[in-house]
Structure 1
């Protein structure tokens, strides 16, 4: 795959405002569906306890391995997606299958868009 194709199918996902456990839950859910630059045993870690932390990963959405399934979160997670229009749309579809998702903002450019989302548990108490 050349770099133009790669950038057209890559989405950078940045997670903030959440625990490392919730960040790990989101990344694991996405890794079931898409190839990632994170190793399978790479779990988010706090760099500096008590400070705001942003965790990032890049996913290749050119093909889907497994469909996303609902995921439980302890608290809402802020997610920012950045990539080509088609790639970000594919990522949003996967996130919508795994989480209750609210789009909080979007910025569009010539080749890319940046979307801010609030993710909540995709598993509800009554489903247990």
Structure 2
């Protein structure tokens, strides 16, 4: 795959405003659906306790490995998706299958877009 094709299918996912456990839940959900630059057992870690932490991973969305299922989060997670239009749309659809999401903002360029989302549990109390 050349670099233009790779950038068209890659999405950088940045998570913030959440616990390490919720970041792990989001990345594991996406990792079951798409290939990523994270090792399978690589869990997010705090660099410094008590300080805001941002986690970033790149996913290649060209192939879907598994469909996403609803996931429970302890608290809402702020997610930023950055990549080509098709790739970001595909990632957003996968997130929508696993989480309740609210689009908080979007910036568009010629070949890429940046979407800010608020993810909440996709599993509701009555389903437990």
TM tier relative to shorter chain:
over 0.9
Q: Secondary structure at the match of 1:106?
A: strand
Q: Secondary structure at the match of 1:101?
A: strand
Give the TM-score of the pair, scaled to structure 1: 0.99
RMSD of aligned Cα (Å):
0.3
Give the TM-score of the pair, scaled to structure 2: 0.99
Structure 1 unaligned blocks of 5 or more: none
Structure 2 unaligned blocks of 5 or more: none
Deviation at 1:92, TM superposition (A): 0.2
Moved over 3 A (4+): none
Distance 2:95 2:41 in 1: 21
Deviation at 1:104, TM superposition (A): 0.2
Q: Secondary structure at the match of 2:91?
A: helix
Distance 2:127 2:49 in 1: 34
Alpha-carbon displacement from aligned partner over 1:15-58 (angstroms, at most 9, x marks no partner) = 00000000000000000100000001100000011111000000
Structure 1 partner of 2:41: 41
Structure 2 partner of 1:5: 5
Structure 2 partner of 1:111: 111
Deviation at 1:7, TM superposition (A): 0.3
Structure 2 partner of 1:54: 54
